[in-house]
Structure 1
Amino acid sequence: MALEKKSTNLYLKYVLFHLVLGGLVYVMPFLSKIYAIAIIFFGFRYVILRKNANEEALFVAAYIVGAEVFLRMTHGNFFEQYAKYGVISVLFIGIYFKSFSKSGLIYWMYGLLLVPGILISFFTLNFDTDIRKAITFNIIGPITLMVSAIYCYQRKITFNQVKTVIDVLAYPLIAMLSYMFLYTPSIRDVVTSTESNFQTSGGFGPNQVSTILGLGIFLFFVKLVFSKKNKTDFIINMILLITITFRGIVTFSRGGIITGFIMVILFFGIIFMSLKTNAKFKLLTSFLLSSFFLIGIWFYSSIQTGGLIDKRYANQDARGRVKESKLTGREKLIESEFTMFLDNPIFGVGVGKNKEYREETTGIEAASHNEISRMLAEHGSLGLFALLILLITPVVLYLNNRQNIFLFSFLFFWLLTINHAAMRLAAPAFVYALSLLKVQIINKDEEELTLHRE
């Protein structure tokens, strides 16, 4: 009992710390840069001092991923790819102390498949293009995925450690929520159309904010399920789940929120089918309670937006007219990238070239929003093989390690996110890698919450 109370008090302190942090950054914006420095300094120090004995590198990487959008939103990043480089660096430190699985050769192969596309870009990119920037923008996401996958591949980890990863991913989102409420206290005053809304997204890109808040919906739902024995934690997590769902919906960016709900459904379905009858009833109670609140959140969001959110998800404009494009024009980008693939089926057009190629052939000046079509366009058939590695490997691993009950939720987060937001964020790369962990059940409390399989 004393241990449970201590755990609750610690969790409450973390929640309050991040709530206050969000408020302080809003009042004193320069604190965001100090926060970014502190994450790297204390995080790396934590891993080095403990020599990654208990997978500290994974926890620090998770925290960096959770903080990325908040730091971008508040201009705390010293450079655009701060989070990706941070994740890569801390996981390399972790590998130095605790090595990696030699059987993870498949992800070295994935990395090698990307090399020809990089080399080709040196010859295909326009003379006046910043080659380093063009290549880095498009390849740093896949490299982050490769390093994260090599670190996580079949790495033995306890179920409690997986829950810790979920915790540290979620904490920075609390700070972001606090900041967003201060940035836009009244949703009703800033919503005038059914387009994605920067004002309700903390002044930052709604697509990326929606992506991380959608992940947050899943994270806090999981925390809600696993805190049902502790009333205080349960109430805190329910409030945070309601809050993050509301703020996610009113970004008016659908991709991330739909992805979050699909993750929840996959997670619920897997454990519901595998638990004993008594445990199924408890889980169903949590799910129904969450669904009840979701309906209430939707109605509240509809009232706050004057019904515009209903029209947004019905693909209508403010006057109720159905929009011609269901993908906000992204289908044209995808179509152009498939054309590039067909014209250059072996090695593709080269990393970073798709934007130039599209502008030259169609007059459309826009970066790719779909990682699958970008991989095909820029890497050709080699990109196709790389994608097949990413899709097939986690499913094969699941056959031998069904204790990773989050595997399909993590995998589908990556798959769905790269279809509407490419790999702008570190989140899809890192979360994908979590599906490769070899989760082990080591005590009865964990066993009650996980699959009852032999």
Structure 2
Amino acid sequence: MMAYVPLVLLYFGWQIMKTKDKTVVVLCAAAYMAGAEVFFRMTKALVFYETGKYAIILLMLVGMFYRGFQKKSYPYLLYFLLLVPGILVTIHVIGVEERFRQAILFNLSGPFSLTAAALFCYGRRIRFKDLLKVLDYMVYPIIAMTVYVFLYTPSGDIGDIANSAASNPALSGGYGPNQVSTVLGLGVFILYTRFLIPYKNKWIHLLMMFFLVAMAYRALLTFSRGGVLVAILMAAAFTFFVYTRTRIKTKTKVTLKLLGTLGITIGIWFFTLLQTGGMLANRYENKDSIGREKENIATGRLQLLIVEYQAFLDHPLLGVGVGKVDDYHREKLGVSIATHNEISRMLSEHGIFGILALLILIGSPLLTKLQGRKNIYFFPFLIFWFLTVSHSAMRIALPGYIYGLSLLSLHYEKKAKKIPSKNPILRKQIG
């Protein structure tokens, strides 16, 4: 399995070299790697844990080599430079040793891949149908992961395994439920948008809708709420913008599809509820396995946030240094644990420079939207980036890459009007 990833990269490299439309091929290649990253991790197909992020950085650099990047994307170069002081602080504290390299690779590979994706995608104009193709390449490995999760834990064994209201690795393909839920949730969103914007081939469309239901079902079974709730918010935002920007005839179709979606969603929820013996309801109602109310829906993460905020107050200018907030966790909480929130990590490890970097990440895409850039996926993609890094930091490549896709400018092709004519010569000229 480990040989598969190099073969994939070689294949996409060959496609990039021989294809004229290199932009779309680069985006498809990066989308595939981003969508497959967690699946590759759970099947131990990666040489390095962060291979997915390195691959995206490499692909974006190749894309910029062939197609360049816009001068107006300079805020993301500034964002990259604002991370440097935190690196220098870490060098000053622990020197350039193995622990330093691990801290940089683990904590900054995500921001670096986001920078590369943002530089390549910023203001780049592609056709809407090409973006749909890119999203298809992202969802293919997610479908493969869904099948793997079903094979790892068949439906008949779920009742025996779902014996607590905690997130469940055994129901997540033997891997981290948080990451699996995030990827499956994104897959659900992508296929939901294709439910509203159908595939041209009827049989492919039906097959994809089957996998939409399968992904939603397995996302719930991870017992990890983050990916599921983010997918719901993304779908709500996408539906709102589709509904408000279409004609009455299309609104009627969308309304009927929404009613169908609601019915299927309720069916999946109650089926999963029965399979888990009510444990799923306890999880989402913030109760333990015997139905007692828990103190706080995010007690552990709230403690981490408080410690990271205190680290920022103690070192407001430069922060504590990249990877050093773990030492604060050990000092204040008695345990060394990686942060779950990229926002608080930026503040604690980079200080005022982290705040400036966050302002760039939030402000730059909003400014491009105000300038009239068209991208119907803009707000759902930003929602995914912000909420995912807020509950799962940047452990996977998807948030950074999806952020980059939000910066694309889409060209919507208008359908050519049919001009009826009885003259065969005129019909030939029109065609």
Partner of 1:76: 45
- Within the alignment, does 1:167 sit opposite 2:143 as a pair? no
Provide the C-alpha distance between the structure 2 equivalents of 1:376 and 1:411, rounded to a whole number of angstroms: 20
1:284 CA drift (Å):
1.7
Partner of 2:332: 361
After superposition, where does 1:189-268 map in structure 2 within 5 Å? 189-227=160-198, 230-268=201-239
1:48 CA drift (Å):
2.1
RMSD: 1.5
Larger radius of gyration, structure 1 or 2? 2
Partner of 1:440: 411
- Could you tell me the TM-score, scaled by structure 2's length? 0.93
| Amino acid in the other structure paired with 1:442 | E
Q: Which of 53, 76, 80 pairs up with 1:107?
A: 76
The SS at the match of 1:444 is coil
1:124 CA drift (Å):
2.2
Provide the C-alpha distance between the structure 2 equivalents of 1:423 and 1:288, rounded to a whole number of angstroms: 35
- Preserved contact between residue 348 and residue 380 of structure 1 (Cα < 8 Å): yes
With over 3 angstroms needed to count, the CA separation of the structure-2 counterparts of 1:276 and 1:402, relative to structure 1, is farther
| Amino acid in the other structure paired with 2:370 | L
After superposition, where does 1:87-166 map in structure 2 within 5 Å? 87-125=56-94, 130-166=99-135
1:152 CA drift (Å):
0.3
Partner of 1:420: 391
- Preserved contact between residue 168 and residue 223 of structure 2 (Cα < 8 Å): yes
With over 3 angstroms needed to count, the CA separation of the structure-2 counterparts of 1:99 and 1:402, relative to structure 1, is closer
Provide the C-alpha distance between the structure 1 equivalents of 2:345 and 2:248, rounded to a whole number of angstroms: 46
The SS at the match of 1:157 is strand
More off after superposition, 117-126 vs 251-260: 117-126
- Within the alignment, does 1:338 sit opposite 2:309 as a pair? yes
The SS at the match of 1:204 is coil
| Amino acid in the other structure paired with 1:76 | A
- Preserved contact between residue 308 and residue 328 of structure 2 (Cα < 8 Å): no
Provide the C-alpha distance between the structure 2 equivalents of 1:327 and 1:342, rounded to a whole number of angstroms: 22
- Could you tell me the TM-score, scaled by structure 1's length? 0.88
Partner of 1:431: 402
After superposition, where does 1:249-288 map in structure 2 within 5 Å? 249-288=220-259
Provide the C-alpha distance between the structure 1 equivalents of 2:334 and 2:98, rounded to a whole number of angstroms: 17
Provide the C-alpha distance between the structure 1 equivalents of 2:345 and 2:23, rounded to a whole number of angstroms: 37
- Preserved contact between residue 184 and residue 202 of structure 1 (Cα < 8 Å): yes
Q: Deviations over 1:186-223 (max 9, x none)?
A: 32221110011001000000000011011111011012
More off after superposition, 394-403 vs 73-82: 394-403
1:99 CA drift (Å):
0.7
1:117 CA drift (Å):
0.5
- Preserved contact between residue 61 and residue 90 of structure 1 (Cα < 8 Å): yes
The SS at the match of 2:22 is coil
With over 3 angstroms needed to count, the CA separation of the structure-2 counterparts of 1:353 and 1:129, relative to structure 1, is farther
Provide the C-alpha distance between the structure 1 equivalents of 2:216 and 2:277, rounded to a whole number of angstroms: 18
Provide the C-alpha distance between the structure 2 equivalents of 1:430 and 1:124, rounded to a whole number of angstroms: 32
Partner of 2:423: none
Runs of 4+ residues deviating >4 angstroms: 126-129
- Preserved contact between residue 51 and residue 97 of structure 1 (Cα < 8 Å): no
With over 3 angstroms needed to count, the CA separation of the structure-2 counterparts of 1:265 and 1:240, relative to structure 1, is same
Provide the C-alpha distance between the structure 1 equivalents of 2:143 and 2:346, rounded to a whole number of angstroms: 34
After superposition, where does 1:285-434 map in structure 2 within 5 Å? 285-327=256-298, 329-434=300-405
What is the identity percentage for the equivalent residue pairs of Structure 1 and Structure 2? 42
| Amino acid in the other structure paired with 2:300 | G
| Amino acid in the other structure paired with 2:176 | G
1:399 CA drift (Å):
2.2
Gaps of 5+ in 2: 417-431
1:324 CA drift (Å):
1.5
| Amino acid in the other structure paired with 1:170 | V
- Within the alignment, does 1:59 sit opposite 2:31 as a pair? no
1:53 CA drift (Å):
3.2
1:402 CA drift (Å):
5.0
Q: Deviations over 1:59-81 (max 9, x none)?
A: 10000001001100111111101
Provide the C-alpha distance between the structure 2 equivalents of 1:373 and 1:204, rounded to a whole number of angstroms: 25
Residues matched between the structures, number: 414
More off after superposition, 183-192 vs 170-179: 183-192
